Chains A and B, each alone.
Chain A
Amino acid sequence: MKASGSTGWKGPVKFRMPTAENLVPIRLDIQFEGQRYKDAFTWNPSDPDSEVAVFAKRTVKDLKLPPAFVTQIAQSIQSQLSDFRSYEGQDMYTGEKIIPIKLDLRVNQTLIKDQFLWDLNNFESDPEEFARTLCKDLGVEDPEVGPAVAFAIREQLYEVKTLIAIQNVASARESRLTKKGRRGSDHGSASKASGLSMDLVKLFSFKSSVVRKRKDLDVYEPVVDLLTNEEVDALEAREERHAR
């Protein structure tokens, strides 16, 4: 393995989700007239905007929410989509970038805790496939867990990417102001500044072994818990208290 810091450095690519399908994670949390609607799903930004209205109407009808929710839902989706689109104009620098993804979610009665490494610059990655396999392997029976896992992964990837994009913008502005040097150095500083990526080179150098350290073993192991109804209620109550 080459010991240089930027193995596989390629030219800049347009901003997009680093997955095989360029899907945007959308999170909805709308409070209106005492009713709260929370949801999370993935959206394909290349779909026409008319789909947003249709989806909002459909959801309100299926869940029997008051009709005022339609506009709120549509607005929320549109704003998140436009956020995504605003990043799309920028360039991304590709290279190897391993980030840890943490899963800590509760879906109905299933609790999943997991941590694993994900290559942010692997554009063939597929969180949906990963989620499907995870649920199958862990024997998760609740079918709602799969999409939640895929969504969580996507969300974290999206967060990291936007963070990098913001930093890129900031550093690009700085460099323009101070007329600093090449883009290559910026790239290096940006990736180090994010502090999230791990240097694979360090991990796999000849001194340390490829096998994970013992203390990290528990962290990287998936844990699935099935909660009883009382525990679910207790957790929900605690979450609400925290939210307030």
Chain B
Amino acid sequence: MATIAPNSGGSGEILPMTPSLPVTPETSSGVAASSQSAQPPSSSSDIECIYVPSYSRWFSWTDINECEVRSLPEFFDSRSSSKSPKFYLYLRNSIIKQYRDDHPRKISFTDVRRTLVGDVVSIRRVFDFLDSWGLINYSSSTSAKPLKWDEKEPGKSAGDAASDPPTTVKETAKRICNGCKSICSVACFASEKHELTLCARCYVRGNYRVGINSSEFKRVELSEESKAVWSEKETLQLLEAVMHFGDDWKKVAPHVTGRTEKDCVSQFVKLPFGEQFDKDSDSEDASETFDLVKGSPDPESEGRIRDGSSPNKRMKLTPLADASNPIMAQAAFLSALAGTKVAEAASRAAVTALSDVDHEADKNAGGDPNRQEINGGSSGETARNDSERALADAKSLIEKEEHEVEGAIREIVEVEMMKIRDRIVHFEKLDLEMERSRKQMEEMKNLLFADQLNIFFHTRRARKAEDRVEC
């Protein structure tokens, strides 16, 4: 696999040869991830992930998109010489960079305008634009909070027919208690006469004005108002959050818009994907099936084959979800999403395909009897055999890769040696040249010396002749 041509004496460098892992197209490059749909990246959990809503997928560091030109025309109509697109790019990129440097802290307009060179009104416009498009200060819980500048949103969305700014008002039914200024969740007490809304605690404590009688309050059940059925989007968010945060429900709850911790936990327990993590579903096939099944990712009904070990769902979730191998994490996530039946079928198909390939190119000595036994009974297998076979196949794959790596390293070493040899030859040639020129220099020095002597003698002779003539 070495593709380097050895240069003689040149500055040829060998590119680092890494056994190429198939890189999934959605891996984020650390904090500088520019655009992603709202999916967790499959890289390791050390790198912080910045979420960007999918309607802002157009964002790129070096380009200006049409919606930006439309929303902020002042920078693009060349009305003033310094409000140029370059200035806009500078403002936008510095704002976003500043936000991402300090993520997850929300960045305020004043922070930004203090550090940017320019007039504050333009800065504010760019800041508002980025804020409303979720490129800064975006977290799934903000969409539930009412924005102060909500009046701008309908104006903008009316203008941009093609673009799709976020809908900020999700739950109109969130009620704030007049007494303690907290959000009422379970039940609240409303008094039509005095237009007051109190949470249960305030009502019981009598935390309202003196003139109001407690009988004037009517009990309003809020649990009916919140959706009992979980939408697709919420389930997706829940799964993302759980994969990311694991057991920390305090962090999961804000990620899932509009659900409390308790809701999240209860919903998660209800989701029937515990068995998924016993199987080893291959990434490519799983992603294919996911594409096909995209329309209906609802978790299937129960009654799946439970393996001998009935796993604790959460325990199974973490080992694969945190796998440093991005493929495994992706596979785990996709299989959770795709449903039991689909994942099972996919894994079976994938493993069969793999075993066929192996069967043809039967190289490895180790693990053979195990595999042949499995190959013999390839029809009518249960889930357990599938996983064992997959394990053996994985092992053989690993061994093959090791061999390949060794071969590659050997070749690298050979090429390096050749290069060194060539360099030595080149240097020897240079050395020779040096010697030759030194010799020439010596000769010339000698000649010069001889000439000097000649001149000296001649002058002496001339002087002697002069003296004789004079005398």
Contacts and interface: CB of A to CB of B under 8 A. Distances in A.
Nearest to B121: A47
Contacts of B118: 42, 128, 147
Interface residues of A, number: 27
A213 to B, nearest CB: 33
Interface string A132-149: 100000000001101100
Given A58-B109, A59-B110, A128-B82, A43 B117 contact: no
Contact of B115 (A54, A55, A144): A144
Interface in B112-159: 113-122, 124, 148
Contacts of B80: 20-21
B81 interface: yes
Contacts of A54: 124
Interface of B is mostly: helix
Nearest to B80: A21
A62 interface: yes
Interface string B77-97: 000111100000000001000
Contact of A144 (B83, B94, B114): B114
Contacts of B81: 20-21, 124
Interface residues of B, number: 22
A43 B82 contact: no
Interface of A is mostly: helix
Nearest to A64: B108
A63 interface: yes
Contacts of B83: 21
A114 interface: no
A42 B108 contact: no
Contacts of A132: 117
B290 to A, nearest CB: 43
B121 A55 contact: yes
B101 to A, nearest CB: 10
A41 B115 contact: no
B117 A128 contact: yes
Contacts of B82: 20-21, 126, 128-129
B96 to A, nearest CB: 14
A128 B108 CA distance: 22
Most buried by A among B80, B118, B120, B124: B120
A37 B44 CA distance: 44
Nearest to B108: A62
Given A20-B82, A126-B82, A128-B82, A143 B119 contact: no
A232 interface: no
Given A20-B82, A55-B120, A55-B124, A146 B115 contact: yes
A58 B124 contact: yes
Contacts of A129: 82
Closest 9 CB pairs of A and B: A143-B115, A62-B108, A62-B110, A44-B119, A128-B117, A146-B117, A47-B121, A21-B82, A42-B119
26 contacts: A20-B82, A23-B119, A41-B114, A41-B120, A42-B118, A42-B119, A43-B119, A47-B121, A51-B124, A54-B124, A55-B121, A58-B124, A59-B110, A61-B108, A62-B111, A63-B110, A126-B82, A128-B82, A128-B117, A128-B118, A131-B117, A132-B117, A143-B115, A146-B115, A146-B116, A147-B115
Given A21-B80, A47-B121, A58-B109, 12 more contacts: A20-B80, A43-B120, A44-B119, A51-B124, A55-B121, A62-B111, A131-B117, A132-B117, A143-B98, A144-B114, A146-B115, A146-B117
